[in-house]
A and B are shown apart, each in its own frame.
Chain A
Amino acid sequence: MSDEAGGSKRWQAILGDVRWLSLLSVLSVLVAWYLVTAFALVPAVLLPGPAEVFATFLDILRNGYRETTLWENSAATLWRCGAGFVLALLTGVPLGLAMGQSPLIRAACDYIIQFMRPLPPLSYLILLILWLGTGDTSKIALLYLTAFPIVAASAMAGVRATKQQRVQAARALGATEWQIFRHVIFPSALPLIFTGARIALAAAFSTVVAAELMAATDGLGWMVFSASRFLRNDVIIVGIIVLGVLGMLLNRLVLLLDGAVIHWRGVE
């Protein structure tokens, strides 16, 4: 009796754990996908089955798609995205910090950033191609310009969100301006800088794929675009899944760094 009750309670605890529902939801999508293709409800050209997509995944991992392997394409995409993003961090954070500190610099630069921020990046890709050619330079410049205003605006907001009491307390204790900046303002701004970096990286990742769709000879965006011309929907689906997973990983990576660096976030 007591055993039975304990057993059912344990089952209730297991079933009550909502993580099972997440697993169930992912599984049901996969099962629905399988059933739709197994019963040929849609033509296999339009929607290949899960097994076929997995076989394609292994194939382009080993043999590649049109002479470039999945690794090479992923590396090309990540390289462009990473180069533009890092350049934006190296220049955008200092500018944003300076804009937060000095009203004059803010007044001189803020309107440019405010205009660039809502501007869809692909619209000026055409100009960049005209100016810099179709190679990697124009793409890295595009991703730089995508990430830069986001990073700069968040660094500026971070500085301006610093509590005045802290600055005054440090000053009262005899800190120099540089010490105040280094030990009070910068650490206070860092959480917002990281949030901005996360948004900027996501935007750059979306944009790099769009740019590769438009003009590239390698990269995941190129692979997906080229596959669509040959009606290789299996390759397209592999590309989408790889991109989704990479996007999630990039986001996690910044969150992980955030957690490791800013141990003071939310501990006020």
Chain B
Amino acid sequence: MSPAALWRRLGDRRATVASLLVLIALWLLLTQLDLVDDLFLPGPALLWDGFTDLVENGYRNRTIWEHAGLSLERVLAGFGTGAVAGTLLGLGMGYNRKVEAIFSPLVEFFRPLPQLAYLVLLIVWFGIDETPQIILLFLTALPVSAIAAMDGVKSVSLQRVQAARALGASEWQVFCHVIFPSALHEIFTGARLAIGVVYATLIAAEIIAGSTGLGWMILDAGRFLRSDYVFVGIIVIGLMGLLLDRLLLAVEHRVVHWAGKD
């Protein structure tokens, strides 16, 4: 296929390619002509050197993958426990008005509360190791998942519940076979929201009070004005965030294959 034909086939994506090219050209122009200091915006060669250096030699005794692994472990531990507990709580809150009344003030208070505000209290209580960070992420994921699961249960169509009941299903059967599957789509939406918030919170927590992990790495590199490391770190952080989201989306498509087919 000739380049011209390929260009035509791109359609609207031509604008994507063009805008990407403009950005890259601007970056090259600014860095290669020394219009800005390398300190503020490292050029491609510098960035690549920084990346290979981080992969081969690492930063402070750990390679970038090890830092990424530590961050990932924390995210999964906090998100896993918080999302499961929050979903169970939310299912209960959606199913029973009394459970909702008891827990909703706490959930409503915790949800808009900036997570980092209670990190300092957790650090004073539990010391600066993994524990306060995992508890922080648990408390971050819990209200997000709880509200999503509650909304999911509440939006189950009443006809289905009544149909199942009319056919003689027990309360437990109604819950397991009608309410839970119907709420699953919203539970997953909540989980994707939660993992995004948990991830952002973890990076912030590592920046403010960490000694390992990607967040800490870019903060420490920033202190020593190693902006090449900072840029590489931000790109890895961004890609990992994207990956986590896509992973959950893939799981959702496998599990909730009936979504949108009502």
Q: Which residues of A contact B (CB under 8 A)?
A: 18-22, 24-26, 29, 46, 103-112, 115, 118-127, 129-131, 202, 205-210, 213-214, 220-221, 224-225, 227-228, 231, 233, 236-237, 239-240, 243-244, 247-248, 250-251
Q: How many Å lie between the Cα of A110 and that of B225 in the bound state?
A: 31
Whether B199 contacts A120 by the Cβ 8 Å rule is: yes
Whether B230 contacts A221 by the Cβ 8 Å rule is: no
Look across to chain B and name the residue whose beta carbon is closest to the beta carbon of A249. Answer: B112
Which of B40, B105, B117, B202 has the largest count of A CB atoms less than 10 A from its CB?
B117
Whether A250 contacts B112 by the Cβ 8 Å rule is: yes
Question: What would 9 A/B residue contacts be, using CB atoms closer than 8 Å?
Answer: A118-B199, A118-B242, A120-B200, A120-B241, A124-B234, A129-B222, A206-B116, A240-B118, A244-B112
**Residues on A with beta carbons closer than 8 Å to the beta carbon of B15:** 103-108
Q: How many Å lie between the Cα of A106 and that of B106 in the bound state?
A: 40
Whether A107 contacts B12 by the Cβ 8 Å rule is: yes
Which of A104, A107, A221, A250 has the largest count of B CB atoms less than 10 A from its CB?
A107
| Total A-B residue contacts, Cβ distance less than 8 Å | 167
Q: Does B114 contact A (CB under 8 A)?
A: yes
Look across to chain A and name the residue whose beta carbon is closest to the beta carbon of B104. Answer: A22
**Neighbour of B116 across the interface among A19, A20, A24, A210, CB < 8 A:** A210
Whether A118 contacts B245 by the Cβ 8 Å rule is: yes
Q: Does B142 contact A (CB under 8 A)?
A: no
Q: Does B7 contact A (CB under 8 A)?
A: no
For the complex formed, measure the closest distance between the CB of A184 and the CB atoms of chain B, giving whole angstroms. Answer: 23
Q: How many Å lie between the Cα of A107 and that of B215 in the bound state?
A: 31
**When A115-B238, A244-B112, A248-B109 are in contact, do A123 and B215 touch as well, CB less than 8 Å?**
yes
Q: How many Å lie between the Cα of A106 and that of B14 in the bound state?
A: 11
For the complex formed, measure the closest distance between the CB of A49 and the CB atoms of chain B, giving whole angstroms. Answer: 15
Q: How many Å lie between the Cα of A127 and that of B238 in the bound state?
A: 14
**When A122-B203, A210-B208, A244-B113 are in contact, do A130 and B222 touch as well, CB less than 8 Å?**
yes
**Residues on B with beta carbons closer than 8 Å to the beta carbon of A205:** 112, 114
Q: Does B252 contact A (CB under 8 A)?
A: no
Whether A122 contacts B215 by the Cβ 8 Å rule is: yes
Whether B125 contacts A46 by the Cβ 8 Å rule is: yes
Whether A21 contacts B98 by the Cβ 8 Å rule is: yes
Q: Does B120 contact A (CB under 8 A)?
A: yes
Stretch from B16-24, B43-51, B151-159 forming part of the interface with A: B16-24
Whether A115 contacts B242 by the Cβ 8 Å rule is: yes
For the complex formed, measure the closest distance between the CB of A131 and the CB atoms of chain B, giving whole angstroms. Answer: 6
For the complex formed, measure the closest distance between the CB of B119 and the CB atoms of chain A, giving whole angstroms. Answer: 8
**Residues on A with beta carbons closer than 8 Å to the beta carbon of B114:** 205-210, 221, 243, 247
Q: How many Å lie between the Cα of A103 and that of B12 in the bound state?
A: 7
**Residues on B with beta carbons closer than 8 Å to the beta carbon of A19:** 101
**When A25-B103, A108-B19, A239-B117 are in contact, do A248 and B108 touch as well, CB less than 8 Å?**
yes
**When A107-B13, A231-B124 are in contact, do A18 and B241 touch as well, CB less than 8 Å?**
no
Q: Write out, one digit per residue, whether chain B residues 218-230 have a CB within 8 A of any chain A CB (1) or not (0).
A: 1100100101001
Q: How many Å lie between the Cα of A120 and that of B202 in the bound state?
A: 9
Which of B100, B101, B230 has the largest count of A CB atoms less than 10 A from its CB?
B101
Whether B40 contacts A130 by the Cβ 8 Å rule is: yes
Q: How many Å lie between the Cα of A193 and that of B125 in the bound state?
A: 41
Contacts A108-B16, A244-B113, A247-B112 supplied; 10 other A-B pairs, CB < 8 Å: A105-B15, A106-B15, A110-B16, A120-B215, A127-B227, A206-B201, A209-B117, A214-B208, A225-B120, A225-B208
